[in-house]
């Protein structure tokens, strides 16, 4: 058995097989469909990143936030 991998999209219930594979009409093939989970993860992350501001805007319910003094900057030696 020979395995051939290619990417395709489901359109109207059909998956397009590239003509470059040179399959013969009537040739028996075994089909295994693997969903591209990485594409789903990327789409989900993009949806989450777009909605994060809408979900969190004005959500802080505590006291006013205050940034404490950060101290002095570190003094480094000069390069020669």
Query: What digits encode the pLDDT tens for the residues 22-56?
Result: 888 888 888 888 887 776 666 666 666 667 777 77
Query: What digits encode the pLDDT tens for the residues 47-74?
Result: 666 677 777 778 888 888 899 999 888 8
Cβ count within 10 A of residue 27: 7
Q: pTM for this one?
A: 0.38
Contact 23, 29 (CB under 8 A): yes
């Amino acid at each position: 058995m020979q395995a051939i991998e290619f990417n395709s999209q489901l359109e109207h219930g059909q998956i397009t097989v590239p003509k470059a594979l040179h399959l013969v009409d009537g040739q028996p093939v075994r089909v295994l469909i693997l969903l591209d989970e990485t594409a789903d993860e990327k789409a989900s992350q993009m949806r989450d990143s777009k909605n994060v501001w809408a979900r969190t805007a004005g959500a802080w319910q505590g006291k006013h936030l205050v940034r404490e003094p950060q101290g002095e900057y570190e003094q480094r030696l000069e390069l020669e």
